[in-house]
Amino acid sequence: STDLTSTVGYDSIIQHLNDGRKNCKEFEDFLKERAIIEEKYGKELINLSKKKPCGQTELNTLKRSLDVFKQQIDNVGQGHIQLAQTLREEAKKMEDFREKQKLHRKKIELIMEAIHKNRNVQYKKTMEVKQMCCCSLPCGAIGDALLYLPSLSHFWQLFLKLAQTKSALEDSDRSYQQSVTTLEKIREEWHKEHIKACEFFETQECERINYFRNALWLHVNQLSLGCVQNDEKYEEIRKSLEMCSIEKDVDFFVNLRKTGSLAPAPVLYENYYNTQRNVTPARSPAPVPISRRGPMPTPASPPGEPDYATVDGYSLV
């Protein structure tokens, strides 16, 4: 501004720097909130994998796959908890950076505040001295007044007053010149300090933007890394499922629970009423080995006999 006492430009810079600090604080709070969410989600996953039954009676290869599944879900939960801790550390770094900039900027602001105050005081003093010089009675006006004096005594009184006024005016003029000279020195000093402060503020703003950008980039990389690590854990589950064999699990169950390879023998009739009739026991049929049955054929009715169905030539009503 052309006004020497104006700080509108300086105030605009300070406001922008404060806004930048506020933006850093908002991102810092965002990281903290995200950390709370990640930690809560991770703990919920761990509790789910440990407390919730999930195929606990399965056997053999499918059981191993389910064990891997639950373990990897637990690992994913641990990963989210670790991510929460990482986010808190990044938020702390952002806070430290923000407070560090604030501390350094405060020193410059105190210097500028003092030099603004000194400049304004000197400017006000200079203007007051200038006003005194302008308002002093001019010597020519006093000389004109001498022509209208009624007596000599009044003449000498006025002449003495003229001399005093002239001396005071010269003193005021010298004081005015000194004030202007002092103000110019203060103005030059303020101008130099203002430039130095602006350069410092610009450097800080560049550092803030660079740090903020890098922090955001790092945050996205951390999220991507978490996704990659989670996918690796899920890949372990897929590999385990590839090793799951239906035939092996069925055979494993059969071998684990089998009770024998022969079917129960037929129950023989024993005649307790007439023991003589039971002289020749009936021959026991040969044991039939157990085999799995094939699917039953679909019953069909011959033409003209809708109420009957035959299976292998045997009629069923």
The answer to whether residue 49 sits within a structural domain is yes
Running DSSP on this structure, what letter comes out for residue 39? H
Residue 287: predicted pLDDT: 53
Here the CATH number for the domain that contains residue 113 is 1.20.1270.60
Running DSSP on this structure, what letter comes out for residue 289? B
Give the tens place of pLDDT for each residue, 170-197: 777 788 888 888 889 988 999 999 999 9
The answer to whether residue 33 sits within a structural domain is yes
- 186: helix, coil or strand? helix
The answer to whether residue 284 sits within a structural domain is no
The answer to whether residue 287 sits within a structural domain is no
Q: Reply yes or no on whether the pLDDT at 168 is more than 80.
A: no
Q: Which residue has the higher pLDDT, 167 or 216?
A: 216
CA–CA gap between residue 168 and residue 11 (Å, rounded): 41
Residue 286: predicted pLDDT: 53
Q: Reply yes or no on whether the pLDDT at 205 is more than 90.
A: yes
- 286: helix, coil or strand? coil
The answer to whether residue 235 sits within a structural domain is yes
The answer to whether residue 308 sits within a structural domain is no
The answer to whether residue 266 sits within a structural domain is no
The answer to whether residue 145 sits within a structural domain is yes
State how many domains the chain has: 1
* Predicted structure pTM score: 0.66
Q: Which domain holds residue 69?
A: 7-256
